[in-house]
Every structure is written in C-alpha cells, then in structure tokens.
Homo-oligomer: A and B are copies of this chain.
Amino acid sequence: MEQIELVTPKTLQVTKPLTMVSGSILPKYELVFETYGKLNDDGSNAILICHALSGNHHAAGIYESENTKGWWHEHIGSGKSIDTNIFFVVCSNNLGGCHGSTGPASINPSTGKIYGSDFPIVTCKDWVASQNTLREHLQIDCWAGIVGGSMGGMQVLQWSIDYPDKIKNAIVIAAAAKLSAQNIAFNEVARRAIMEDADFHDGRFLEYNTIPKKGLALARMLGHLTYLSDDMMGEKFGRELRTEKLNYNYEVEFQVESYLRYQGEKFATKLNFDANTYLLMTKALDYFDPAAEFNNDLETTLAKTTANFLVISFTTDWRFSPERSQEIVKALLDNNANVSYAEITSQHGHDAFLLKNDHYEAVFSSYMNRISTQLQTGRK
C-alpha cells in the first residue's frame, strides 16, 4: 500500500507590513503552509509549490483528522515526480486565500471587522513577495525549484523575474505570460455572477450571515467548463440523459448539466470557498502581465532570469493553449536561457495539469531527477 505522509499545516505570522502593488499596505498577515520531506543540511533541496485559483496549501500528504489527500498528491510524495525522499517541499495558501492565510474573511485590524470587500487587491507580485518572506523564515537561501500550474505557473514566472538569485529551476505548467482578452472576459462573467447575487451585499455577506452561493456556484460552473476540453466532455458525457427519456422541461436533462451543477454547488457549499477570494484570484490573474513593466517586451522582462526552465503545456488546453507557453519559451530562448519545453498530448484540457498522464509524469520526473543530480553534484 502507498505510504502517505501525515501532515499538519503551520502558520507564519508576518508583522512586517507589506506594501502591495496597488499601493495598499497590509500591516500584518498570516501565511498558512505545509511542508513535506526534510530540508537537508545546507538547505539546498527546497521546492516551492505555487497553487492555482481554487487551490491551497494542502498540496500533498494527508491530515490525521480527515481523509483528504492534497490536490497535487499525484505528483508529490515518496517516489513520485517531486520525490519527498529527496526534496523538502513547501506549499503555502496564497495571501487573500480562504484556507488559513489572511484574506477577505479575516479580521481587519484597523476596524475590528471582517475585511470582506475591503481586502486590498493582491497581485502575483505580492504573492511572490509574501512567499519570499516565508522562504526567509524557513532559512532557505535559494529554492532548488519552484513549480506551479496555471495561476501557479504565473507565480513561478514572477519569482524568476523578481528574485532571480533565489530560484534555480522554474517549472511553469499550463500557464501564460498574461491573460488574453478572452481569458479576462471569462473572469469578468464569473465575477458578475458573484457580485450580482442578491446575497453578495457588496462583499460584506459574512456580516449578513450569508454567502452568495448561487453566484459562486455559477462562477465555478463556468470556470470548470472552460478547464475541460470539448472532446473530453464529449467522451465523458456526450448527450447522455440524466433520466431514461427527455422530460421537456427546465430540469436537468443531460448528464453534463447535472455534473456541472454538482461541481458548482460543491465548491460553494461543501468546500465553502470564499466568494471574495474567488474575485480576488481572478483579478490577480487579469492583472498578471510582468512585461507591462518592460515596455511589453517579454524577452527584456526575462533578461535577468538565471533559472533553468521547464515549460509544459497540454494539447487540448484552450484556456492557456500551447501557443501561450511557446511565447514564454521563445522569450527564454531569445535570452539564451536553459529551457526545456514539452507539449503533452492530453484530452483533459486545462485540467490536465492536475491529472495523471504517463508522458507528463515522465517529463516532470526526469526534470526533477536532473534537479536531484544538481543537488548531488553541486552543479547547475
């Protein structure tokens, strides 16, 4: 039987104020995080995992109290791509999140009330700055690698730009250097769904003892739908009916409707995802555009980056298509960076980055083995 590490989340209290990209100042904050494996003596084997929109710090292992495996359990653990026998793995819940780190559901020290919509807009750069504080706390001089998919991949890119000497290897999966107009448009529809829910109360819903459940479920349905490929949905659901024959009414007729409603409701109620966090994360995605500071030139943006890169995309991912990854690869190659690129054949759309896939695992593992060899030989 597979050995799964028992884990307990830890919390870092940061009392040094954080001046955010927006100009807002967060006087203090907490970051909840988990670690897997052991930091070696010279602190050279640390891997940071950056999570995606709906993710959190529970990337791997299992809690004693409940049977929930981490969201990237497939890739992190003993003998897996990110082998916890070799690496010390760290994952924190992003600032503004809703799983323990300071966010919109936390108390605003300046008012004594829940932040709600007063929580300042967080950007990818702010996340990376806060993760850098966590790095210092953990006494890690330099990450052996930083890994992330989707929004996580954007944080990896930002790390390589903002702290080039603190990251040896950057693994950017199913990401993009910035959102397209279509990406932003999907996010905007999701936000409208939340903000126009009668229970949203301008983001102060917790003070009203309610949550904008319907809007959040709708946002999630839409998000989920765009993370899947047309082909995969066709194969999984086709036009299969929920009941034996058509009912000709507005109830659920097709399996795909039932599936999406379930996903939406689970997210909004069972998983209890905070609606303000959802808004915040989609905004951070929209704002992510590191090249904007460099005259919109991605090559210049990545000029100071010294990390080795592994960039991975998935054939049927239409939210962050292979072309978007290739833009990153091109900018890196134009800088003579050391970059490997793999386009993985998968039917699973954007979601593929979270799922098992032999080719994906082979590429990922062999790159992680290379990092492991670097550790042993001390070479880059």
Contact status A192-B179, CB under 8 Å = no
Contact status A191-B250, CB under 8 Å = yes
Given A180-B230, A239-B179, does the pair A185, B287 have CB atoms closer than 8 Å?
Answer: no
Q: Is A21's CB within 8 Å of the partner chain B?
A: yes
User: Which residues, 98 to 130 on A, are CB-close (under 8 Å) to B?
Assistant: 117, 120-121, 123
Scan A86-98; emit 1 where CB is below 8 A from any B CB, else 0: 0000000000000
CA distance A23 to B247 in the complex (A): 10
Contact status B230-A260, CB under 8 Å = no
Contact status B195-A193, CB under 8 Å = no
User: Of the candidates B193, B217, B253, which one forms a contact with A286 in the assembled complex, judged by CB atoms under 8 Å apart?
Assistant: B253
Contact status B248-A121, CB under 8 Å = yes
Q: Is A75's CB within 8 Å of the partner chain B?
A: no
Contact status A248-B23, CB under 8 Å = yes
User: Which residues, 233 to 289 on A, are CB-close (under 8 Å) to B?
Assistant: 233-234, 236-239, 246, 248-250, 253-254, 256-257, 260-261, 264, 279, 283, 286-287, 289
This chain: copies in complex: 2
Minimum CB distance partner of A248 in chain B:
B22
| Chain B residues within an 8 Å CB radius of A184 | 239, 254, 256-257
| Chain B residues within an 8 Å CB radius of A189 | 218, 221-222, 225, 260
Contact status A222-B222, CB under 8 Å = yes
User: Which residues, 175 to 220 on A, are CB-close (under 8 Å) to B?
Assistant: 178-182, 184-186, 188-189, 191-193, 195-198, 214-215, 217-218
A297 to chain B, nearest CB (A): 14
CA distance A296 to B193 in the complex (A): 37
Contact status A178-B239, CB under 8 Å = yes
4 interchain residue pairs of minimum CB distance: A22-B248, A181-B233, A181-B237, A121-B248
